[in-house]
Amino acid sequence: MNPSSEKETPRQLTTEPPSEKSPEQNTNGVINPSTTEALDSSAVSSPETDQEGPSDEDLANLRHISGKIPVEAWIVAWFSGAERFAYYALQAPLQNYIQNPASGFGRPGALGMGQSVATALNSFLRLVSFTTPVFAGVLADGHWGPYKTLVVSCGLYFTGILLLLLTSIPPALDAGAGLGGLIGAFILIGLGVGGVKSSVAPFTADQVRITGKQVQTLDSGERVIVDHEVTVRRVYSIFYWCANVGALSGLASVTMEKYLGFWTSFLMSLVALASGTVVLLLGRNRFYRRKPEASFRAKLLSALGCAIKGGFNLDSAMPAVQLEKHGRTVPWDDQYVEDLRQALQACRVWAIYPIVWLCYEQNQTNLVSQSGQMATHGIPNDAVSSLNPIFVLMAVPLFEHCVYPYMHKLKLNPRPTVRMTLGFIMIAFSMAIAAGVQQAVYNAGPCYNMPLECAASNDGHIPNQVSFTLQIPVHAVSAVGEVLWSVSGSEYAYNKAASHMKSTLQAVTMLTLALNSVLGLAVSPAAHNPNLVILFACFTGAMTVASGVFGWFFWTSD
């Protein structure tokens, strides 16, 4: 995705200079699904803009398109790609680093703690990474602002990777520093990842200066509506695409792990994060920085406290109610309570996210171990997980330029909750395929349902004779599901949140990842032979039920 390659979009509506004031987000009218289409962002030379907003007839009949994507959004998306490059460069080798011994079993290793412990420690890293965004989100909205939160988080992140690097070099491993360094690094990296994840997505969308909906006339004479919400969807697609480019670092990382040692993978991660942070610092004067609200935390907790004391009813937090019933003047207005109500209602959508993440993240844990039980024909087994971002890179432009426009022509409205439901169904399907692949592994020799663990495996050097290519459909289907639900979830969170709650609401979505990590820790003891078919089947069943429940409640939700 390159902004210079995009073809036909009118110039940006609003060119207000960077300021501390949050952009107004007018969402008047209803998008007609039969006419909605996002164009790429190269502006036509001289579009005409109507002075008034679109009429009801315009909203019903004109195409809704994306405005021009600002350079600042591309810079933050580039930083996100560098951060994801760093994360996956260190994360991709971790299962082997923890699971396998330094010699034996035919796979690279260092600590030799087994598959269950490796899966549990990976879940611990995610638990730390996705618990901290709640606190970081409050810091971003109430004290530091998103930009400072990102910079401080990068400092913690960098320190954690450096610790992991220093304790993974052979002399440190020989001295027994590997496990202690790993846990310490996981805590620092988790804090850093949490801070970044709470703010980077909304900070990217903050750079969009288009507000509301306005009618413009293209050079072709066609009248269109340039729509803030469509522009935000496009920004999140670009953001997600860049992040998945970064995720390809796993391919290089696992190759370096195999031939040069784990420490080289961690060094590459360190360099990538440093380069991304430098770009973020150099661009600091270009960015729109949303001003934090100094009393945010106190107001939030106090308003929620009033609602709880009033029988879990937000109407009890209204200023007039507080004055009439309790004789107190509160530091918020009616609109603040309505913003809080909308944010809490949006949180219901993420109730099933822990189950979704648990299934999706099998790509980085048990599916890595599964490929290690298969014939990989010289390819590192943990390189197979990089198939997921490759398929995502293909799926994002496919959806933006083909699938969504086609759905519009069929008068199907690809609202975020609809896309999320379809994505969840695809994740369930991917787990069903994974169960079938695991059964194929168990049906093959030499070790059948105990791969790498029988005498015929030559001390773990000979996997079961079934090709790792059977895993390809798992990653392809999972990637399609990911594009549908993950991009849509971030878009939904941003559009539903008031300007002073965007990082906090994004952090709530990250908290579901922490709950997923708790689930991951709970199921990790079952992640061993010969139970893996049953494990994947259980994931399939849970995801199928969750998809049905979500669709039942939210299919028609805006």
Helices 178-206 + 115-142 axis angle, to 10: 40
Going from N- to C-terminal start, the domains of the chain cover 71-212+214-284+341-554, 296-330
User: How confident is the model over 408-429, as pLDDT tens digits?
Assistant: 666 566 788 888 999 999 999 9
- Name residue, tokens 């009248």: 223
The three-state (H, E, C) secondary structure of 65-98, written as one string? ECCCCCHHHHHHHHHHHHHHHHHHHHHCCHHHHH
Nearest by Cα to 468 from 377, 364, 529: 377
**Residue 302, both tokens:** 């106090």
**Residue 85, both tokens:** 């490059």
Regarding the domain delimited by 71-212+214-284+341-554, which CATH topology (the fold level of the hierarchy) does it fall under? Answer: Growth Hormone; Chain: A; (1.20.1250)
Question: Can you say how many angstroms the Cα of residue 58 is from the centroid of all Cα atoms in its chain?
Answer: 35
Query: What is the torsional sign of CA 81, 83, 87, 90?
Result: positive
User: How confident is the model over 210-260, as pLDDT tens digits?
Assistant: 677 788 877 787 787 777 777 888 888 888 899 889 988 888 888 898 888
User: How confident is the model over 308-344, as pLDDT tens digits?
Assistant: 888 888 888 898 888 888 888 888 888 888 888 888 8
Strand, coil or helix: 49: strand
CA distance 146 to 165: 28
Question: Can you say how many angstroms the Cα of residue 196 is from the centroid of all Cα atoms in its chain?
Answer: 11
CA distance 421 to 179: 40
Beta-carbon contacts of 537 under 8 Å, excluding residues fewer than 6 positions away, are 432, 435
**What's the predicted TM-score (pTM) here?**
0.72
Task: State the burial class of residue 428 (Cβ atoms within 10 Å of its Cβ: 0-12, 13-18, 19+).
Answer: buried
Nearest by Cα to 39 from 219, 280, 258, 298: 219
Query: Where on the phi/psi map is residue 212: left (φ > 0), alpha (ψ -120 to 50), or beta?
Result: left
Radius of gyration of the chain from its Cα atoms, rounded to whole angstroms: 24
From first to last of its 558 residues, the chain has per-residue pLDDT tens of: 333 333 333 433 433 433 443 333 333 333 333 333 333 433 333 445 554 577 777 776 777 777 788 889 999 999 999 999 999 899 888 988 998 888 755 678 888 888 788 878 887 888 888 888 878 887 887 778 889 999 999 999 999 999 999 999 999 988 888 899 999 999 999 999 989 988 888 888 888 876 777 888 777 877 877 777 778 888 888 888 998 899 888 888 888 988 888 999 999 999 999 999 999 998 888 888 877 765 666 787 788 888 888 888 888 889 888 888 888 888 888 888 888 888 888 888 888 899 998 998 898 788 988 998 999 888 878 778 778 889 999 998 998 888 877 776 665 667 888 889 999 999 999 999 999 999 999 999 899 999 988 888 887 788 999 999 999 999 999 999 998 988 888 888 777 777 777 777 777 777 787 787 788 878 888 888 898 999 999 999 999 999 999 999 888 776
Phi, psi of 30 (to 5 degrees): -125, 130
